[in-house]
Amino acid sequence: MKIVICVRVPMSCARVSNSLGGFFDVAAKREELSRTEAQASAEDFWSDQEAAQQLLQQRSRIERVIARQEQFESAIADAEVLFEFAEEDEDSLRELRAVVERLAHEVDLAETEMLLSGENDARNAICTIHPGAGGTESQDWAEMLLRMYLKWAERRGFKTEVLDLQPGEEAGIKNVTFKVEGEYAYGLLSAEAGVHRLVRISPFDQAARRHTSFASLFVSPEIDENIEVEINDKDLRVDTYRATGAGGQHINTTDSAVRITHLPTGIVVACQNQRSQHQNRAVAMQVLRSRLYELELEKRRAESAVLEASKAEISFGSQIRNYVLAPYQLVKDARTKVERGDVDSVLGGDLDDFIHAYLLSRRAA
């Protein structure tokens, strides 16, 4: 019996075995965990609530790294045992394939996280999607992108919250701001910042002609109170309006939604999904602080391709990725040349291949 997977087993095992202490220095992580646990046991630990929460998050991150390494070692041991029986036993062969596929997936996730070493990469992400020119076509594409990223976040176990959404007149959305909470959310989604181009037979064209639509994704890190961003009240214009989304008991009868314009930069943020005007203003200010912080980072690293893409005109030639649904089906990244023919899977949130390839190319640049 020929074992098709037999070549992949040692390769996958070698990738992990050679990196025990390479992906993660487990001994050092265990020492770090001991230090954080000692700090968490101090009598005055909760005297500074914010510092305490940050330490607990750090401890959780370390525990996850150690657990992942232990899972790698266990999976390798299982694969080695199954490999001995796979040539004579079909059940062992099937189980071996499943173990190797799962191990390869976990290795890819670990490698991706290793590429995220920026000071803000581990933070939550605040994302904004804007449709390009084209009216309903682009607005519908913007809504498709929103679904794609929400599905991607769900696949990774991230929490999402739509902060502000302005629906289009006929279909789609005029713009949307949403938050993604999870480990390395900003670092991962920053790889997606830029213009996205869709080619399809328009569902809004009675002549069933092919249309090209554009929409852009902008991503900024959610910052905490330890990062100071000076905002003068005189630089702000605050408008209230009637919210259209779900929220508090009187969300549809009071002017509880808040829109804040930062006059010096022209940045506009809004929130309408909280239960009160006060809460909407607080969330909008948080988004504004994150946007201003990202703007400052952008000035300091103008060479960043992601940020340059996020500033580009939302039109042909500026896109980072093309999604072609007709006359053939193909998704192709313009930066890394990675392409996929399973368009439905990509639009369903299967984006890790694109993100991983871009992060690798950025590291090599």
86 falls within a domain? yes
Residue 61: inside a domain = yes
* Residue, of 316 and 331, whose pLDDT is higher: 331
Query: What span, in angstroms and rounded, lies between the C-alpha atoms of 293 and 359?
Result: 22
Distance CA 161, CA 177 (A): 9
Q: Is residue 75 part of a domain?
A: yes
Mean pLDDT, the chain, rounded, equals 83
- Domain assignment of residue 44, yes or no: yes
Tens digit of pLDDT for each residue in 90-133? Answer: 888 888 888 888 888 777 777 777 788 787 898 899 999 999 98
pLDDT for the residue 15: 42
Task: Report the alpha-carbon distance of residue 359 to residue 116 in Å, rounded.
Answer: 8
pLDDT at position 354, please?
96
Residues in Cβ contact with 221 at an 8 Å cutoff, skipping those fewer than 6 apart: 120, 123, 124, 125, 126, 186, 290, 293, 294
- Examine residue 106 and state whether it is found in any structural domain, yes or no: yes
Model confidence at 294: pLDDT above 60: yes
State the pLDDT at residue 355. 95
Cα separation, 225 vs 290, in Å, equals 11
Domain count, the chain: 1
Return the minimum-mean-pLDDT range out of 37-41, 107-111, 192-196.
107-111
What's the confidence (pLDDT) of residue 317?
62
**pLDDT score recorded for residue 87:** 79
Inside any domain, residue 63: yes
Q: What distance in Å separates the CA atoms of residue 98 and residue 12, rounded to the nearest whole number? A: 13
Buried b (16+ CB within 10 A) or exposed e, 91-105: ebbebbbebbeebbe
Token output for 306: 């992601």
Give CA–CA dist 13/321, Å, rounded. Answer: 33
Classify residue 32 by burial, with Cβ atoms within 10 Å: 0-12, 13-18, 19+. middle
In DSSP notation, 79-104 reads: HHHHHHHHTT-HHHHHHHHHHHHHHH
The answer to whether the pTM exceeds 0.85 is: no
Percent of the chain with pLDDT over 90: 43
CATH no. for residue 13? 1.20.58.410
Residue 216 in any domain: the answer is: no
**Using CB atoms within 10 A of its CB, is residue 114 exposed (0-12), middle (13-18) or buried (19+)?**
middle
Domain range spanning residue 99?
4-114
Cα–Cα dist 129/221, whole Å: 15
Q: Tell me how far apart the alpha carbons of residues 36 and 283 are, in angstroms, rounded to a whole number.
A: 31
Distance of CA 23 to the CA centre of its chain: 21
pLDDT at 80: 86
Residue at 258 is within a domain? no
Closest CA to 220 of 165, 177, 261, 258: 177
Could you give the 3-state DSSP secondary structure of residue 200? strand
